[in-house]
Amino acid sequence: MKKIGTLLLLVTVLTMLFAGCKNNDAKKESANVPDNSTPEVTEPDAKNNEDPIQLTVWTNVVGKHAEVLENMAKEYEKLNPNIQIDFSAPGGEYENMLKVKMAAKDMPDIFSTHGWAKLRYGEFLADLSDREWADKVTESFKPIVSDEEGKLYVLPFDQDQSGPIYNTAIFEEYGIEIPATLDEFMAACETIKTKSNGEITPIVCAAEGWEEAQFFDFFATPLLISPEKNEAEALLNKTFDWNKWDVLPEKWLEMFEKGYINKDIFTVKFSDNIAKFAEGKAAIGFYGPYFIEEARALNPEIKADMMPIPAIYDGDEPTFAGGEKTTFGVWKDSPNKEAAMAFIDFCAQKENVAKVCAYTKLPPAIEGVEINAGELTKTYEKYANLRTFPYFDRVYLPNGMWDVMCKNSQSLLGKVITPREFSENMESEFNRLHQLQDN
């Protein structure tokens, strides 16, 4: 009887334990089921489950300027692990590379338009006017990057306002006033060359070619556009007398032969000129405000500023060149259009626009962005009443003429062509490219 009692007690205990386990399991199950007994569906983490999206981003800017944009892309990648950005800043070959892409109708997902958002790249660009930041583009700049129908072609970071860059310490040391005319500019170069015993190069240019072309693009405005009696209409209706262009190649060759331009122009790079300028071994560069920041990265104590483009004719005033500077547009047929738009929205954030403007030292093209332009703040105030004209080539020359100016400016200094032949080449290409463009 004792054994039977013990056995019954053991069975009872096991039964109670089993019942308790079932109860606990039921409680656990009921805790995971909503009141309506419908199982909850948990969405998978989209970023971890989607295939990676690769965006191609191209820019025409170089050096530290390009680094600002590349760092922006890297930051976006960190915030969006599913996005991979192939960033490219090919420099002088940018324009030709994009021509190949246009011909193949296979553009980068995102690309810079270097002054040609509407005229050259308009048909390839998506409309950005519905983005949240679009109404923040400054009113004065909207006509440059949008059309009458309201299409916004690009995100503009900054508003370009450029003229030759100069080392203020050198000008002060030799008592040189900011030249108001081209003759005064030439006299300033002679003073620098003579008083420095040739140790300081008045003007630096490099083998890439675009620096040389910038001289022609700068000074074509005071030669042909800004004077009261000008050639603007003749250029637009294709009746311009190209003999009048001779002034610029003649002056360019004179600068070189007088030793105002570095003799190693055919071999040095843009980076070499930055170093020369930063070290105080060069006085002037045909660049823009960004050149000051490039030099300051090497020499934080550099004293530099921007001068207006000197006038050529009596009665005219100095001017600035302006228009697009740093931009990003989206290819309208991009297979990753939605992702590209999201990246553009990220770039349009005020802190990112400010990063670009802090480097270029240019006014922001997005309202509400505050920057410190350093020494250029006073420059913009001082010359607030001077006229700013669009870059000459962007209005008066057909697509492709920039490359013509680059090559001919170097050929001229290499004695391959004469100033007259430079003008003849300009006329020939002007007519040929217009014919291609019109057809």
The residue among 108 and 288 whose pLDDT is bigger is 108
Superfamily of the domain at 161-322+380-438: Periplasmic binding protein-like II (3.40.190.10)
CA distance 86 to 52: 13
CATH number belonging to domain 51-158+325-365: 3.40.190.10
pLDDT in tens, 150-168: 999 999 999 998 999 999 9
Q: For residues 280 and 260, is the Cβ–Cβ distance under 8 A? A: no
Q: What is the pLDDT of residue 19?
A: 47
The residue among 382 and 235 whose pLDDT is bigger is 235
Written as six digits, the tokens of 95 are 């324009």
Give the residue-averaged pLDDT of 375-379.
Answer: 87
pLDDT of 45 > 60? The answer is no
pLDDT of 25 > 50? The answer is no
Q: How confident is the model at residue 41 (pLDDT cuts 50, 70, 90)?
A: very low
pLDDT in tens, 6-21: 444 444 444 444 444 4
Q: Is 390 helix (H, G, I), strand (E, B) or coil?
A: strand
Q: How confident is the model at residue 119 (pLDDT cuts 50, 70, 90)?
A: confident
Q: Is 243 exposed, middle or buried (0-12, 13-18, 19+ CB in 10 A)?
A: exposed
Kindly list the domain boundaries of the chain, sorted by start residue.
Answer: 51-158+325-365, 161-322+380-438
pLDDT of 264 > 50? The answer is yes
Give the residue-averaged pLDDT of 371-378.
Answer: 84
Q: Measure Cα distances from 251 to 167, 208, 264, 313, 393 in Å.
A: 22, 20, 19, 14, 19
Q: How confident is the model at residue 433 (pLDDT cuts 50, 70, 90)?
A: very high
Q: How confident is the model at residue 210 (pLDDT cuts 50, 70, 90)?
A: confident
CA distance 293 to 76: 24
Report which DSSP code applies to 179.
P
Q: For residues 374 and 361, is the Cβ–Cβ distance under 8 A? A: yes
Q: How confident is the model at residue 92 (pLDDT cuts 50, 70, 90)?
A: confident
Radius of gyration of the CA atoms of the chain, in A: 31
Q: What is the pLDDT of residue 209?
A: 81
Q: How confident is the model at residue 377 (pLDDT cuts 50, 70, 90)?
A: confident
Torsion of Cα atoms, 112 then 252 then 425 then 222, to 10°: 70
- The DSSP line for 100-135 is HHHHHT---SEE--TT-TTTTTGGGBPP-TTSTTGG
Length of the chain counted residue by residue: 439
Q: How confident is the model at residue 208 (pLDDT cuts 50, 70, 90)?
A: confident
Torsion of Cα atoms, 377 then 378 then 379 then 381, to 10°: 90
pLDDT in tens, 321-357: 999 999 999 999 999 999 999 999 999 999 999 999 9
Q: Among residues 119, 127, 133, 121, which one has the least CA distance to residue 149?
A: 127
Q: Are strands 388-390 and 159-162 parallel, antiparallel or unpaired?
A: unpaired
Q: Measure Cα distances from 247 to 223, 244, 351, 380 in Å.
A: 8, 7, 45, 29
Q: What is the pLDDT of residue 439?
A: 76
Fold equal for 51-158+325-365 and 161-322+380-438: yes
Written as six digits, the tokens of 114 are 């270097």
Tell me how crowded residue 186 is: count the other CB atoms within 10 A of its CB: 18
Percent of the chain having pLDDT more than 90? Answer: 75
Q: How confident is the model at residue 49 (pLDDT cuts 50, 70, 90)?
A: low
The predicted model scores a pTM of 0.74
pLDDT of 116 > 50? The answer is yes
pLDDT in tens, 239-258: 999 999 999 999 999 999 99
Written as six digits, the tokens of 99 are 């021509």
Written as six digits, the tokens of 143 are 């006509």
